[in-house]
């Protein structure tokens, strides 16, 4: 079945590290970019970064560059989003999504259900 399965909700304290995951199935994981999208409470969608699992090329949106790390494991068909030091403002729902760039008109055609990250002291 074509799907992206994300890891479960996390509750962390400020300053802690965190790595959340997105496991792909039903398609060739290394043939498509994967993106991570943040949705803060009551707010819109923000693309954080994308990765091409075949060679781990990454592109970060300017607002998120240096704040998070996107990675991928070809052996397990899993993409990751990582923080080294969480802040309360990282509290949000995080989605992974398959990113289609076959033509010049890009889009995201398959979404995970999201991982809720709550950061509070």
Partner 1 sequence: SSDLTQDPAVSVALGQTVRITCQGDSFRRYYASWYQQKPGQAPVLVIYGENKRPSGIPDRFSGSNSGSTASLSISGAQAEDEADYYCHSRDSSGYQNVFGGGTKLTVL
Under the rule (CB under 8 A), what is the footprint of partner 1? 35, 37, 44-47, 50, 59, 61-62, 95, 97, 99-100, 103-109, 111-114
Nearer to partner 1 among residue 9 and residue 85 (C-beta) = 9
Residues in Cβ contact with 111 at an 8 Å cutoff, skipping those fewer than 6 apart:
4, 95, 96, 97, 98
CA atoms within a 13 Å half-sphere pointing along the CA-CB vector of 79: 36
Least distance (Å) between residue 3 CB and partner 1: 11
Query: Cβ(28)–Cβ(73) under 8 Å?
Result: no
Nearer to partner 1 among residue 74 and residue 113 (C-beta) = 113
Dihedral angle of Cα 38, 50, 8, 90, to the nearest 10 degrees: -40
The two beta strands, 10-12 and 115-119, are parallel
Least distance (Å) between residue 47 CB and partner 1: 5
Nearer to partner 1 among residue 17 and residue 40 (C-beta) = 40
Nearer to partner 1 among residue 86 and residue 98 (C-beta) = 98
Least distance (Å) between residue 15 CB and partner 1: 29
Least distance (Å) between residue 17 CB and partner 1: 25
Residue appearing with tokens 């923000």: 46
């Amino acid at each position: 079945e074509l799907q992206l399965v994300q890891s479960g909700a996390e509750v962390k304290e400020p300053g802690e590290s965190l790595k959340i995951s997105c496991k792909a199935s039903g398609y060739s994981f290394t043939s498509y970019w994967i993106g991570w999208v943040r949705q803060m409470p009551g707010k819109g969608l923000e693309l954080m970064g994308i990765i091409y699992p075949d060679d781990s090329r990454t592109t970060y949106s300017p607002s998120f560059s240096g704040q998070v790390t996107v990675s991928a494991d070809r052996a397990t068909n899993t993409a990751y989003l990582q923080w080294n030091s969480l802040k309360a403002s990282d509290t949000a729902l995080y989605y992974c999504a398959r990113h289609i760039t076959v033509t010049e008109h890009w889009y995201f055609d398959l979404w995970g259900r999201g991982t809720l990250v709550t950061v509070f002291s």
